[in-house]
Structure 1
Amino acid sequence: MTDRDRDDDGRARNARPRDGLGRPLPYGAEGVERAPEGVVRTPADSLAEAQRLLDEGKPFHAHEVLEDAWKSADGPERELWRGLAQLAVGLTHAFRGNGTGAAALLERGAENVEPFRESPPYGIDVAGLQAWARSLADEAKVRARVEPVVPRLAG
């Protein structure tokens, strides 16, 4: 039995470096700096940081930022952040060439942000994100390799 990598708090956490799409690299390889986990940000800061990471071609890392927002949100907004995190994971799968996974996560994310379509908080372009996600999901269903366009989270 091998010892598992652990973080400073003793939780299991893979310490292998990762590439820009979150894929594990061999120990000792040069990886991309990971987004710190468990950071509580304001909604505006979460959106800005996630957008920065998306624009840098790091949708996996953007997902981690959005996941932190999801886990720290209360009430109905949890589904908004969950949906946004799923859209980022769907984009990650699209960039990795996993059309099936991309389509599933993009569709799920688009559905989870639907309750916020009529009155989107924080300037989030819910309708635009849904259109983008559904279009990319349809494309990913017929072609594993797609050339996704990175969305704008807020207008």
Structure 2
Amino acid sequence: MKRRLVSKRITVPGNIARFCGDFTAGKFYEAHEHLEEIWQQERGPVRSLYQGLIQAAAAYVHLSRGNYRGARRLLQTSLGYLAPYRPGPVMGFDVEGIALALEAALATLLELGPERAGKFPMDLRPTMACDMTALSGEAVRFRAWGFSEDGTALTEEITVAE
């Protein structure tokens, strides 16, 4: 099936809320897609934060499939991307809490090993929540894409493949 490019209107707070909701619901692939739309546009200092959160969601896609190697690699790289933002919070995310949960997930996965990766307890995951009241100030602080200079969330048009 050939994918086509379509225009879409998004807001950063809307996509972050969808990311958090889908991650919490165990829809890890969908969660990563919401943040990826922001990450592809972001050129500032929070780009790596978004990448770390995207990789965390992708790690849980691999964990849900019992893919030890992919999950281990993505948990490690996610932690690497999140490290400069610890302890946070950053862009409304409790980076320290997320990183600690990812470290626990990685330790559990390593203990299980490749043969038992399919037995990973999927409820062992970070709480992905965002303090939406902090977004405006954080957007100004980091000059984040999708916000005006005063921190007002903007509706942005992006192009995505469907």
Question: What TM-score does the superposition give when structure 2 sets the normalisation length?
Answer: 0.68
Shift in alpha-carbon separation, 1:59–1:138, aligned structure 2, 3 A: same
Distance, in Å, in 2 between the alignment partners of 1:96 and 1:38 is 32
User: How many residues are matched?
Assistant: 124
Summarize deviations over 1:30-65 as a string: whole Å, max 9, x none.
Answer: xxxxxxx88564332222101111222210111111
Shift of 1:138: 1.4
Shift of 1:132: 0.7
Distance, in Å, in 2 between the alignment partners of 1:117 and 1:72 is 23
Alignment partner of 2:50 out of 75, 78, 81: 81
What is the 5 A alignment of 1:136-151? 136-143=105-112, 144=117, 145-149=119-123, 150-151=125-126
Alignment partner of 2:70 out of 101, 109, 113: 101
In the alignment, structure 1 residue 62 sits paired with structure 2 residue 62: no
Between Structure 1 and Structure 2, which shows a larger proportion of strand residues?
2
Q: Structure 2, unaligned stretches of length 5 or more? A: 131-162
Which residue of structure 1 lines up, in the alignment, with residue 150 of structure 2?
none
Summarize deviations over 1:68-118 as a string: whole Å, max 9, x none.
Answer: 121111211111111100000011111111122112101111110111124
Between Structure 1 and Structure 2, which shows a larger proportion of helix residues?
2
Which residue of structure 2 lines up, in the alignment, with residue 116 of structure 1?
85
> What CA RMSD, in Å, does the superposition of the two structures yield over aligned residues?
2.1
Q: Structure 1, unaligned stretches of length 5 or more? A: 10-36
State the structure with bigger RCO (CA 8 A, min sep 6), 1 or 2. Answer: 2
Structure 1's consecutive aligned runs of 4 or more residues displaced over 4 angstroms after TM superposition are 37-40
Contact 1:44 1:122 in 2 (8 A): no
Which residue of structure 1 lines up, in the alignment, with residue 129 of structure 2?
154
Distance, in Å, in 2 between the alignment partners of 1:38 and 1:113 is 30
